[in-house]
Structure 1
Amino acid sequence: MADHPVDEKLPALKMATTGLQHVAAMYAGVVAPPLIVGAAIGLTATDLTFLTGACLFTAGLATFLQTLGIWKIGARLPFVNGVTFAGVAPMTAIVASTEDKSDALPIIFGAVIVAGLLGFIAAPFFSKAVRFFPPVVTGTVITLIGISLLPVAFGWAQGPDPAAHDYGSATNLGLAAVTLLIVLLLRRFTTGFVKQIAVLLGLVAGTLIAIPFGATDFGPVADAAVIGFPTPFHFGAPQFQLAAIVSLCVVMVVSMTESTADMLALGEIVDRPADEKTIAAGLRADTLGSAISPLFNGFMCSAFAQNIGLVAMTRIRSRYVVATGGGFLVLMGLCPMAASLIAVVPRPVLGGAGVVLFGSVAASGIQTLVRAGLDKDNNVLIVAVSLAVGIIPITAPEFYHAFPQTVRIVLDSGISTGCVAAVLLNLVFNHLGNKDAQDVTHPMEAGEEITGASRAPAAP
């Protein structure tokens, strides 16, 4: 009996090239979170390179867990894992609330470890509770992720240092605009692999254009070693603070919700439907990968939805192809020089690409909401109030200034507060005490929508 296409092992060359294509589709999404968090902390170029390499390395390990699996861990589907964008805003809030910035990463790592372990324990139970996370909830949260990160792109477009004389200059904004234009042109007029890596090509082109303006610094590459290893707890032993843990536990719930929808969608695409057992195993891989990641200085891991779209487009369904991509991620994480390349990219160039990256997240959330039943008043109220609550920290940063600093870590994350609001409002309006409650849309619908536009932004 022939192997199912999911279990097929392709010829070595095809395995390598198609695996690289998966890396190209998700690379920018993996390196963007450490860039954002590292910049907020004020890491040196060397430490930023180290953090980026660590996130690539741990993304590869998490992908191995998900595709190859051990015991009851791993969906064993062509499922790519990497750093989740949902954690970026809460992590930057943790950084902002930490007086000694050298403690920020240890606090984040401690919270990720706890959230990962709790998620691992909850995985089999969570797989039974997905009906409480319909598209009206997931769509709202995905939209908030994009909206919360767009200000980061706008800040990058102005320059690396708000105190610098050229911050917000015509040159910086011009470099951002040219990069954005290049990405859009590549997406519009190219096809196949080139189209998939349009963001990466835009970053390269923008960096080269920035050289005559003195905006490109190749120092990080020159100083980086060819071979290195993400030394465990490089930034210090993990610290455990309750408010940070609560904030990232909320992110873990969001991440598990999105991964569930992705597994349902991917199972249909590869003709191996994801049942409750598969979902539980996949969530165990997500959460265990997240719990292990801080050991090597990485962040919380989750599924990358654009890679599901890549599977649907190419019809190459082998999980071993994705595992090969995970191998490339590990190798890149072990080569600091490769990881340092992203540090060369000028901040305005990143800002131009960031508009596409982060805007596509918001757009994919809106796509999910379109089919979430917004013709029903209850769902309109859920989305309206949840979005309003989630946007508060963006439009009025000092809104919660009277609250204790530990509480503000949660409140100042629009993603966390918006998610909590959406879940609670969905329970009140569509479940509790409502005899005429609408049928809750199966999460498969959310998965179908997410595959149409990237949730974890890399190559929209």
Structure 2
Amino acid sequence: MTTSHAETRPEDAILPPAQMVGYGFQHILSMFGGVIAVPIIIGGAAGLEPGDQALLVSCALFVSGLATLLQTIGVPFFGSQLPLVQGISFASVSTMLTIITSAEDGETGLREVLGAVIVASLIGLGVAPFFSRIVRFFPPVVTGTIIAVIGLSLMPVAARWITGQEFIAGKENPDYLDIGNIGLAIFTLLAVLIMSKIPVLSRLAILLGLVVGTVAAFIVGKASFDKVGDANILAVPTPFAFGTPLFATGAIVSMTIVMIVIMVETTADVLAVGEVVGTKVDSRRVGDGLRADMLSSAIAPVFNSFPATAFAQNVGLVALTGIKSRFVVAAGGVVLAVLGLSPVLAAVIGVIPLPVLGGAGIVLFGTVASSGIRTLSKVDYDNNNNMIVVATALAFGLIPVVASDFWEEFPEWFITIFHSGISAASIVAVLLNLFFNVFLPGTPEEPTDLAAAPARMVREDEAEVLGEGGAFHAGEPVDPTD
């Protein structure tokens, strides 16, 4: 069943209700660990009691659900109407931690964080119309590189879910690199791969893989329902539960830089999911997506939460399952909001062990990277510098992944921008594309090995013409410049 408009926009397809809920639930399971991680980290840094940390988690789920509905369903000028799941942004964590640790106490720092998020989001909302116009500087050589970096930069997240952190609260983690956790992740990965091979189950492979992996975790004693019984059945988020926000100039400036980074990442995610879905994404649609992001982020502190942005791992799920409907993701948004209102349900979902999520994440994040490679395969590399654009942008995008302290001695504002591999790759790819293909377009007179077209084999008919004197023979590689 589809709407008449779905013939031109695949994202408008409407599936039967049971399928929408099932596929939507799959989206939530695949990103659940990520959406609760930020409030847990921030709550711990602020020194909150376990009950208050649980409140932060519930609020994060509630806000993420509302933000997902705004992004997918949309209202005039707000929402890209694409299958994008919204969650609490990881890009803001380091800055929020700095604000909290710089304050006189944890609660004051948390209130300064909330105030900075409100002001910075409103600034982002104001510049969104101008920011969206840069979409014309994102040809396939740029978008393909960014999409590949999105997937590759997420792989350490999957690895950490599997291995755990080496240190927790300054103490050595006894479960770090536990062979049982690694085995559980591999088992989940195998379950996902097997489900993907069965036609009738392939589109629910991630969901079923998570279920199988969690059951296995219960069997081997790595999962339990102990914390479920302590959770409340219903809890409505209280606005400004930690007090009214505080507005510190330094915190606002730092958070504004973070918002610019988030806008770069959101632009990349919108373009990435548009590529996966196969739908038109213009500057107006990017602008609507950015405005939805910024509005959600501005409202989030009212409900004791933090900046909301698109989750890249769910782009991989769209590519993996082939389910392109935005209404499926909207159904997932409803699930998120309900989980935020019911801590006991959130606790049930929370029993999924991180190694299980990591096993499924290997496929999800790898799918995002492969989507970028597919886009890059369409790029023309003959007698131009596109290979250099891709190579350099990929390198800058992966520097924070392979050497997290690489930029440590640079100014704080620079670290905020380039510590995110996605924003670093986006900026470098756009600038190099402008330099090589816009400001100085054309083929170099003497191209380098990177700029020249790749060698190909001589055909039989060419060998007859070119082979006079024995210089060329059929089946041998030939440089096109020769």
TM-score by length of 2: 0.72
Alignment CA distance shift 1:328-1:128 (3 Å):
same
Equivalent-residue separation in structure 2 for 1:401 and 1:232 (angstroms):
37
Amino acid aligned to 2:378 = R
Higher Cα radius of gyration: 2
Does residue 242 (structure 1) correspond to residue 256 (structure 2)? The answer is: no
Structure 2 residue 418 is the aligned partner of structure 1 residue 411: yes
- Gap change, CA 1:432 and 1:254, over 3 Å in 2: farther
Query: 1:64/1:143 Cα in 2 relative to 1: closer, same or farther (>3 Å)?
Result: same
Deviations 1:302-356 (A, max 9, x none): 3854686699758xx6x76765554343223211112223332223222222222
Q: Which residue of 2 aligns with 1:334?
A: 341
**Which residue pairs with 2:86 in the alignment?**
82
1:54 is aligned to 2:63: no
SS in structure 2 at match of 1:83: strand
Letter aligned with residue 66 of structure 2: L
Match of 1:291 among 275, 289, 298: 298
For the Cα contact (< 8 Å) 1:23–1:329, is it kept in 2?
A: no
Given the alignment, which residue of 305, 310, 314 partners 1:302?
Answer: 310
- Deviation per residue, 1:432-456 (Å, 9 max, x gap): 243779xxxxxxxxxxxxxxxxxxx
| Greater helix share, structure number | 1
CA contact (8 A) 1:243 1:410 kept: no
Once residues 397 and 363 of structure 1 are traced to their aligned partners in structure 2, the CA distance between those partners, rounded to angstroms, is 23
After superposition, residues 294-373 of structure 1 pair within 5 angstroms as: 294-296=301-303, 297-302=305-310, 305=315, 323-373=330-380
Aligned to 1:172: 181
Shift of the 254–171 alpha-carbon distance from structure 1 to 2, 3 Å rule, reads closer
Structure 2 CA distance for aligned equivalents of residues 354 and 138 of structure 1: 22
- Work out whether residues 33 and 354 of structure 2, in 8 Å CA contact, stay in contact via their aligned partners in 1: no
Cα distance in structure 2, aligned partners of 1:45 and 1:137: 44
User: 1:385: Cα distance to partner?
Assistant: 0.9
1:254 to 256, 261, 265: 265
Q: Which amino acid aligns with 2:399?
A: I
How many residue pairs match? The answer is: 418
- The answer to whether structure 1 residue 197 and structure 2 residue 208 are counterparts is no
CA shift, 1:289, in A, is 2.8
Which deviates the most, 37-46 or 371-380? 37-46
Deviation at 1:245, TM superposition (A): 2.6
Alpha-carbon shift at residue 252 of structure 1 (Å): 0.8
In structure 2, how many angstroms separate the alpha carbons of the residues matched to 1:419 and 1:402?
A: 22
Residue 362 of structure 1: CA displacement?
A: 2.0
Specify every segment of 5 or more residues in structure 1 that has no aligned partner in the other structure, as ranges. Answer: 8-12, 438-460
User: Secondary structure of 1:295's match?
Assistant: helix
Match of 2:196 in 1: 187
Post-superposition offset of 1:417: 2.0
Q: Please, what is the CA RMSD of the aligned residues? A: 3.8
**Separation in 1, partners of 2:432, 2:82:** 34
In structure 2, the partner of 1:149 is 154
- 1:11-52: CA deviation from partner (whole Å, max 9, x where unpaired): xx9753243134134213442322443565574876665455
**Identical-residue share of aligned pairs (%):** 38
- Distance of aligned partners of 1:393 and 1:413 in 2 relative to their CA distance in 1, 3 Å threshold: same
Residues 395-419 of structure 1: per-residue CA shift (max 9 Å, x gap) = 2233223234554333322222222
Tell me the equivalent position of 1:220.
227
Q: How far apart are residue 117 of structure 1 and its match?
A: 3.1
Corresponding residue of 1:456: none
Structure 2 counterpart of 1:136, one-letter code: V
Question: Aligned partner of 2:194: which letter?
Answer: L
**Residues 97/71 of structure 1: CA separation in 2 closer, same or farther (3 Å cut):** closer
Q: Is the 8 A contact 1:332 1:338 kept in 2?
A: yes
Q: CA deviation at 1:205?
A: 2.2
Q: Give the aligned residue type for 1:171.
A: G
* Structure 1 pair 18–123 and aligned structure 2 pair: CA distance change class (3 A): farther
Contact kept? 2:124, 2:294, Cα under 8 Å? yes
Question: CA offset at residue 179 of structure 1?
Answer: 1.4
